[in-house]
Amino acid sequence: MKGKHDFSAFYNLGNEGALKLLRLYLSNPKEFNRRADGYISLFNKYHFTTGNVPSRWCAWYGTDNKLWEDGYADCDALKRAVSKGELVELPNDPQRLGFFIDPDIGDRDGDHQFKHRAFYRTNTREAWGMALYVAYEYRRLLKAEKITFDPLKVAGAVRSVWYQNKLGTTAIPVHVAGLAIDFSYKDMTEEQKYRLKLLLDTLTNLGLLSFTDEENGNHFHVVVPKDKATREFYRGVYLKFFLN
207-228 residue pLDDT tens: 899 899 988 889 999 999 878 8
- Residue 115 or residue 1, greater confidence: 115
Is residue 64 in a domain? no
Is residue 116 in a domain? yes
Q: What is the DSSP string of 28-87?
A: -HHHHHHHHHH---HHHHHTT---S---THHHHH-TTSHHHHS---SHHHHHHHHHTTSS
Is residue 50 in a domain? no
Give pLDDT, residue 216.
81
Q: What is the mean pLDDT of residues 127-132?
A: 97
Q: Is the pTM of this model over 0.75?
A: no
13: pLDDT strictly greater than 60: no
Q: What is the mean pLDDT of residues 162-180?
A: 74
On whether the CB atoms of residues 42 and 172 are closer than 8 A, the answer is: yes
Is residue 221 in a domain? yes
Query: What is the domain-level CATH number for residue 198?
Result: 3.30.1380
Is residue 195 in a domain? yes
> How many percent of the chain have pLDDT more than 90?
45
> Domain of 225?
71-243
Q: Please give the tally of structural domains in the chain.
A: 1
Q: Which residue from 91, 65, 34, 92 is spatially nearest to 179, judged by alpha carbons?
A: 65
183: pLDDT strictly greater than 50: yes
Give pLDDT, residue 227.
81
Q: What is the mean pLDDT of the chain?
A: 78
pLDDT tens, residue by residue, 37-86? 654 444 444 333 333 334 444 444 444 444 444 578 888 889 999 999 99
Question: Could you tell me the CA-to-CA distances from 88 to 80, 141, 176, 236 in Å, in that order?
Answer: 11, 28, 14, 15
Give pLDDT, residue 180.
93
106: pLDDT strictly greater than 80: no
Is residue 14 in a domain? no
147: pLDDT strictly greater than 70: yes
Gyration radius from the chain CA atoms: 18
Specify the amino acid at residue 67: L
Is residue 190 in a domain? yes
Q: For residue 171, name the pLDDT band (cuts at 50, 70, 90).
A: low
Is residue 39 in a domain? no
